[in-house]
Amino acid sequence: AAMAGCGWARAVRGLLLDVSGVLYDSGADGGVPIAGSAEAVRRIKASGLKLQLCTNETQATRENFVRKLRALGFDISVAEVTAPAPAACRLLRERGLRPHLLVHDDLVPEFADIDKTNPNCVVLGDAAENFTYANLNEAFRLLIGMEKPVLISLGKGRYYKETDGLKLDVGAYMKALEYACDIQAEVVGKPAKRFFESALAELGVPPEQAIMIGDDIVSDVGGAQQCGMRALQVRTGKYR
């Protein structure tokens, strides 16, 4: 309703929605929907606007992520989710890269069809409890031993909100490896322009006719604006 009074809103044909902190707060118990969010998704779909979830979620396969969202009351299909892992797999195949994975255990199936023997790059996701010193050091040793180190990070968020409080995100660990190896990571996921462009392609709407809605001023709002979209920041999730 707040958008209805804006002239530019009339040109909007599609919405990209962040998920964590916008639709629900994640947590060990499966998470909790944010009040009114499932109803909002229903209203968006009923209004004829196109909808794509644009998430940096890397703690689950898209299938399991969608299963969880549906259990929380969201009418969402796998095709409506743009996530970093499938995008990373495309990039790995295109460039003939064989990854060493430092990711959450539940994300590993996304990389089932990728050759992981004799790794020539490191892929970093939101590994949560797998971010041990030993695991980070193993990734560091692989990178520092490469003639041209390649570090691919599935996002670069600083932190996110779960039901029991704020949690360090993948970006903090990405920075540690960048610093130790004196390299720059390649980010797959928000705020990378290519990631937003693939989400828009799946939405089937040009950037000037889409709005990104998220709780992260850098990854969601900033990334979308750099891609030629308008963006709105919600005051839920990590918003402070």
The one-letter amino acid at 186: E
Q: Please state, in angstroms and rounded to a whole number, the distance separating the CA atoms of residues 71 and 234.
A: 23
Q: Please state, in angstroms and rounded to a whole number, the distance separating the CA atoms of residues 218 and 239.
A: 11
Note the pTM of the prediction, 2 decimals: 0.94
Report the candidate in 106, 108, 141 with the shortest Cα–Cα distance to residue 122. 141
Residues 195 and 170 reside in one and the same domain: no
Residues 178 and 218 reside in one and the same domain: no
**CATH code of the domain covering residue 33:** 3.40.50.1000
Residue 78 · residue 62 · CB < 8 Å: yes
Domain residue limits at 196: 14-56+190-233
CA 181 to chain centroid = 24
Q: Please state, in angstroms and rounded to a whole number, the distance separating the CA atoms of residues 162 and 227.
A: 28
Residues 177 and 224 reside in one and the same domain: no
List pLDDT tens digits, range 96-129. Answer: 999 999 999 999 999 999 999 999 999 999 999 9
List pLDDT tens digits, range 147-181. Answer: 999 999 999 999 999 999 999 999 999 999 999 99
